[in-house]
Structure 1
C-alpha cells in the first residue's frame, strides 16, 4: 500500500522514524517533507499531501507537527480529506471506523516514538465500518 507522509520541523524526527518503520512494514511511502529540522511553515507540506490524498494517490496520509492542530486544520481544507488528530491508538482506530479518516495527524511533541508507531498502526489496520456512519460522513462536505 502506498502512503503519503509529511511533517513540519517539530515532527521531522518522528516522520523520519515512521518512514523507516513503514518501509520495513512493506509500505511504499511518498515523503512530502520537510527534509530537515529547520523551521518551516506546515501548510507547505500539508497542502500538497492533502491534495494527493484527495486525488486518491495515495489513498491515505500521515501528517505530524508539534500539536497536530496546524496540519489537521490545513489538510481539512481539501474537500475529499477527512483528517483527524490522534494521540492514542484508540482515537486513530475510531477516526477510521466512524469517520473514514484518510489523513492521520499525530502530535509529535506529545507522543513518544513507540506511541507514534502504535497510533499509526491502529490507523492503518482499521477499516471504515460504513453503515450508519456512512450517512454521517456523507454530510461532512459543504
Structure 2
C-alpha cells in the first residue's frame, strides 16, 4: 500500500476545516477516495462509511498533539523559553504567539521541519494501528 496516497489524502482533508472534506482508503487495495462538500464532489463508493473495508482518513486535528508538541520543540531547541511558552498557553492565541516567538528566535523553519516529521510519524502510527501496511 502506498503511504504517499494516504498522506496526500490526509493533507487534502486537513487543508480545510474539519468536516468540510473527507477521504477513505480501502483496506485491501489501498485505493483512496476523496470528497469535498464545498466543491460538491464525492468519489467515495456508496456505503463506504459503513463498510469495515474502508477507513476514514483522519483530519490533522485528530492526530495533532498540539501543546505537547510545541513544548517538546521548545525544550529541545530553546529551553530557556519554556516558562514563557507555557505561560502563553494560558491565553487565547497561544499558537500565534509561539510562532511569533519562534520567528524572533529564527527557529520557524526548524519548527516546520520538526512539526512535519512528528505529524508524519503520527500518521504512520495511525496506519499501523489500523492494520495498513505502508
Q: TM-score, normalised by structure 1?
A: 0.28
Greater helix share, 1 or 2? 2
Q: Higher RCO, 1 or 2 (CA under 8 Å, sep at least 6)? A: 1
Between structures 1 and 2, the one with greater strand share: 1
Relative to the length of structure 2, the TM-score reads 0.29
